[in-house]
Amino acid sequence: MAKSTRRPLVAGNWKMNLDHVEAIRLIQDMALRLRNLDHRAVDIAVHPPATDLRSVEGIIGADQLPIALGAQHCSAYSSGAYTGEISVAMLARLSVTLVLVGHSERRLHYAMTDTDVAATTAAVLKGLLTPVICVGESAAEREAGETETVLVRQVSAALEGVAKGAEQSIVVAYEPVWAIGTGIAATTEDAQLACGRIRDEIRERRGDVADSIRILYGGSANPENAGELVSQADVDGLLVGGASLQGESFAAIVSAVCACYGT
């Protein structure tokens, strides 16, 4: 499948920023700015903190905004004594359709393992939501020349949570840890190389369905580098952190992606 037949996705990961009142303000501002854009060819999503989901869902629903609602994490369990956790079913009831799984900040600060990533991916798919599986090497791994090894390990482990035939329902995000929040994005060549390697790994394990899976780049994406990044053959969109916290920069990124896809 050619790149042009994969719908690009621009997703904003708000991380632990904005309370629900601030979140309402941001989603309204985004909606106003996106209204002036022809973004029919681009999927747009936001991943607010869990406490904001209900409020953001309300605005998206009331104004029929073409923005998908995502969560940043969920439990691999369906219910029970897991204090502080949130289940896939709870998210689905809030019209959430996407869930980030295995973001490097979860792996680093909350000891999320490859096995946890597979179990959570399986839970998300079972609940008929889309897992956005995050992979990427650290600075030390990159310096040691281990980027490819790390990507292959993380991707193959995550696929353990994807039943045969369910591959089309996943999104993968390549987020090199050293590029997150640093202002130093991967070069377009490095982003392409890594996303291409990820697609090859999926193809080796699951066949040509790899060509229909969207692979995003994340890590200091901004309005200036967005167009060039998504013009790469295997980069099908962006997972945006800091620049998604302002309506202006997020809309500018969407606009750059639209331009690249000819809308």
Residues of the shown chain interacting with ligand 13P in the complex, contacts defined by CB under 6 A: 13, 103, 175, 180-181, 218-221, 239-243
Q: Quick one: 200 or 228, whose CB is closer to ligand 13P? A: 228
Are the beta carbons of 57 and 85 closer than 8 angstroms?
no
Q: Quick one: 112 or 263, whose CB is closer to ligand 13P? A: 112
> Which one from 105, 141, 167, 175 is the annotated catalytic residue?
175
What are the respective helix, strand and coil percentages of the chain, to the nearest 5?
50, 15, 35
Are the beta carbons of 94 and 69 closer than 8 angstroms?
yes
143 has catalytic annotation: no
Q: Quick one: 250 or 261, whose CB is closer to ligand 13P? A: 250
Q: How far is the CB of 78 from ligand 13P (least distance, A)?
A: 26
Say which residues have a Cβ less than 8 Å from residue 80's Cβ, sequence separation at least 6.
none
> Which one from 39, 73, 103, 105 is the annotated catalytic residue?
103
Determine whether 62 is exposed, middle or buried from the number of CB atoms within 10 Å of its CB (0-12, 13-18, 19+): exposed
Q: Quick one: 4 or 247, whose CB is closer to ligand 13P? A: 247
Residue 140 to residue 152: CA distance in whole angstroms: 17
Residue 110 to residue 116: CA distance in whole angstroms: 11
103 has catalytic annotation: yes
Residue 9 to residue 215: CA distance in whole angstroms: 9
State whether residue 40 is helix, strand or coil: coil
Q: How far is the CB of 7 from ligand 13P (least distance, A)?
A: 19
Q: How far is the CB of 168 from ligand 13P (least distance, A)?
A: 22
Q: How far is the CB of 172 from ligand 13P (least distance, A)?
A: 13
Catalytic residues: 103, 175
